[in-house]
């Protein structure tokens, strides 16, 4: 069984204070870099010898960020402003300032674990790390007194900590990012030198009133997206409005939404053939085929863009016509998404090649030109509330196409069909990366007005419902309602057609 290095911090009191640098947004769980800052400060306080430097260097050079085990959603105290006098010996310079207090209440679980996977070729200096962690005296503000211990822990022991009386949640690193939202700071090579530089600069600046008031923040660290089953994070998105040649809103039939998805995908492919990102030039073929086109190939961890038409919903008179389309990228791919979206802005959609490329039996020209116009979804309007909101209940706008066949015959028992459908829905949730516990029910009829049934044929055997690509034509489809234990942010798309407009969910009530 594999072994991990675990640094456990316990607070002596029941409160933690800590904002993301330069903001008034709480940082929870405390980032690995905040722990690193506390260790550097403690090491300097008691004497930073070579052994402690070796321990800090080991933490710096870990390529995989640590898992963080902490209370999933702790309660917070009352926000209040506190008048803090200026710490200045010169009476003429003395000027007070306001400091905002917003404590995290840790009555149930006043502890946090930082767990690194050990690389066999880079064993941790356990004795030096133990000496280093013994110097920690607080985590958060100076008033947040705490102590730390370091141990080697097995996977079983870590899982027991999660399921134990403290009821911790495992926050997992997803990938590096430049965004502060849902990310935590992580140390990297050079972090110790940068912290020492800032300390020296602040000591020098303390002799000068103007310089001392200019807060200096650390700069040498990585930002890593962290997610957990209790607190999932929103995937990055880019939204476009469909416009005609007169720059008026364009409406496209709801049943043919896959045509819009295909045309946007085709436009992205053509633009990326001409304008490969500079950081992807050496991997241009893989970038185009995998991320933009969506071809899985032999990649073990396939990541791709999703092209999602958005039916107009959320109002009693909504007609569910297609007026907008959304690009959804995997977690950690904000840079790639923004690159593609920037170049799609203003592009005209062209159906001819796209229709052949995705196997649609539809060749009539579209009625008029369609252009893409990138927008920021208006607050409290249907895209923001229905598709990008946060809710415990989500229900399908377009049916989920199950990744498998749910064959039915007269001899099949209803219980057997239900079990098979449930199995396929759970499979679709896992493939979409949704691990937050939930309950669900399904049906053929839509949950929302003006949306279409999941049936492919009517009673007379005539084609009805949604147009589908050839590779999804024969698969079973159902409308699904999900009920999560914890609020989950959108967008949510699951199923075999989740990258082209099927299995799209809206926040329910």
For the record, the structure tokens of 106 come out as 């840790």
Whole-number average pLDDT of the chain:
84
User: Quick check: is 488 in a domain?
Assistant: yes
Which residue segment(s) compose the domain that 406 sits in?
A: 237-507
Q: What is the residue whose two structure tokens read 């840790």?
A: 106
Distance between CA 305 and CA 296 in Å, rounded? 12
User: Quick check: is 232 in a domain?
Assistant: no
One domain, residues 170 and 289? no
Query: Which of 167, 197, 227 is the C-terminal boundary of a domain?
Result: 227
Q: Are 19 and 25 in contact (CB under 8 A)?
A: yes
One domain, residues 158 and 78? yes
Question: Which DSSP state fits 62?
Answer: -
User: Quick check: is 418 in a domain?
Assistant: yes
Backbone angles phi, psi at 228, to 5 degrees: -145, 165
Distance between CA 464 and CA 457 in Å, rounded? 5
Residues 6+ positions from 147 with CB-CB distance below 8 Å: 9, 10, 12, 136, 137
One domain, residues 178 and 321? no
For the chain, what's the residue count? 509
Query: Which of 227, 254, 286 is the C-terminal boundary of a domain?
Result: 227
One domain, residues 223 and 103? yes
- Number of domain units in the chain: 2
Answer whether 0.95 is exceeded by the pTM. no
One domain, residues 310 and 377? yes
Distance between CA 440 and CA 291 in Å, rounded? 31
Is 19 in a helix, a strand, or coil?
Answer: strand
Share of the chain above pLDDT 90, in %: 41
Share of the chain above pLDDT 70, in %: 86
One domain, residues 250 and 216? no
We report the CATH number of the domain holding residue 104 as 3.30.70
Backbone angles phi, psi at 447, to 5 degrees: -85, -20
The predicted structure's pLDDT at residue 101: 81
Residue 305 has pLDDT above 80, yes or no: yes
One domain, residues 218 and 244? no
Q: Find the mean pLDDT for residues 458-478.
A: 81
One domain, residues 165 and 247? no
One domain, residues 342 and 489? yes
17-31 per-position pLDDT tens digit: 988 876 778 889 999
């Amino acid at each position: 069984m594999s072994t991990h290095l675990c640094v456990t911090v316990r607070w002596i009191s029941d409160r933690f204070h800590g904002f993301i640098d330069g903001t008034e947004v709480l940082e929870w769980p405390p980032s690995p870099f905040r722990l690193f800052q506390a260790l550097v400060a403690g090491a300097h306080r008691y004497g930073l010898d070579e052994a402690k430097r070796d321990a800090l260097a080991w933490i710096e050079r870990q390529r995989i960020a640590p898992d963080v085990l902490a209370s999933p959603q702790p309660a917070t105290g009352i926000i209040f402003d506190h008048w803090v006098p200026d710490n200045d010996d010169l009476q003429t310079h003395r000027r007070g300032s306001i400091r905002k207090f917003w404590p995290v209440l840790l009555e149930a679980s006043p502890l946090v674990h930082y767990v690194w996977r050990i690389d066999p070729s880079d064993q941790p200096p356990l004795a030096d790390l133990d000496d280093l962690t013994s110097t920690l005296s607080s985590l958060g503000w100076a008033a947040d007194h705490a102590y730390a211990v370091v141990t080697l822990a097995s996977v079983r022991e870590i899982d027991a900590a999660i399921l134990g009386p403290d009821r911790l949640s495992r926050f997992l690193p997803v990938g590096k990012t430049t965004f502060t939202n849902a990310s935590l700071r992580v140390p990297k090579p050079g972090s110790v030198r940068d912290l020492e530089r800032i300390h020296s600069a602040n000591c020098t600046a303390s002799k000068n009133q103007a310089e001392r008031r200019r807060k200096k923040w650390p700069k040498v660290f990585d930002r890593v997206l962290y997610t957990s089953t209790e607190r999932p994070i929103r995937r990055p998105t880019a939204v476009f409005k469909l416009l005609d040649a007169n720059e008026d809103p364009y409406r496209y039939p709801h049943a043919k939404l896959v045509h819009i998805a295909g045309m946007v995908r085709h436009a992205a492919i053509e633009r990326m053939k001409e304008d490969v990102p500079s950081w992807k030039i050496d991997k241009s073929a893989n970038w185009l085929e995998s991320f933009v086109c969506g071809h899985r190939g032999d990649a073990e961890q396939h990541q791709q863009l999703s092209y999602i038409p958005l039916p107009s919903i959320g109002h009693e008179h909504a007609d569910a016509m297609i007026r907008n389309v959304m690009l959804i990228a995997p977690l950690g791919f904000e840079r790639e998404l923004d690159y593609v979206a920037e170049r799609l802005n203003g592009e005209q959609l062209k159906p001819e090649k796209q229709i052949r490329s995705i196997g649609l039996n539809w060749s009539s020209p579209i009625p008029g030109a369609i252009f893409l116009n990138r927008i920021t979804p208006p607050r409290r309007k249907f895209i923001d509330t229905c598709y990008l909101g946060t809710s415990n209940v989500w229900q399908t706008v377009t049916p989920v196409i199950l990744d498998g066949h749910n064959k039915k015959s007269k001899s099949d028992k209803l219980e057997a069909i239900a079990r098979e459908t449930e199995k396929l829905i759970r499979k679709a949730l896992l493939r979409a990366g949704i691990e937050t516990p939930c309950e669900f029910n399904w049906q053929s009829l839509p949950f929302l007005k003006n949306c279409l049934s999941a049936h492919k044929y009517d009673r007379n055997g005539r084609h009805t419902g949604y147009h589908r690509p050839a590779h999804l034509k024969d698969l079973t489809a159902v409308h699904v309602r999900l009920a999560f234990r914890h609020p989950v942010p959108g967008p949510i798309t699951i199923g075999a057609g989740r990258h082209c407009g099927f299995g799209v969910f809206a926040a329910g009530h």
